Amino acid sequence: MYYTGRDMKVSHKGMNVSESDWSLFLEHASATMKELQVPQQEYDDVVAFVLSLKDDIVEA
């Protein structure tokens, strides 16, 4: 699958997403993957990918 939408910086600009928002998001995403028993390798890949986007999303 290829994402062809707006990039993450443009999509989240002006939303004032904070460090605290970010942490809650990661905790929920992590708990969801654990609950669904996502295999460790995929889990690690998703977390690494998501973290690579943090600077484009967190601005407050």
Binding site for ligand HEM (CB under 6 A): 5-6, 8, 11-12, 15, 17, 21-22, 25, 50, 53, 57
Nearer to ligand HEM, 12 or 30 (CB): 12
Q: Name every residue whose Cβ is closer than 8 Å to that of residue 43 and which is 6 or more positions away in sequence.
A: 30, 33, 34
Q: How far is it, in rounded angstroms, from Cα 58 to Cα 55?
A: 6
Q: Taking the complex as a whole, how short is the minimal distance between the CB of residue 33 and ligand HEM, in angstroms?
A: 13
Nearer to ligand HEM, 21 or 43 (CB): 21
54: its two tokens: 């943090």
Nearer to ligand HEM, 34 or 52 (CB): 52
48: its two tokens: 């690494």
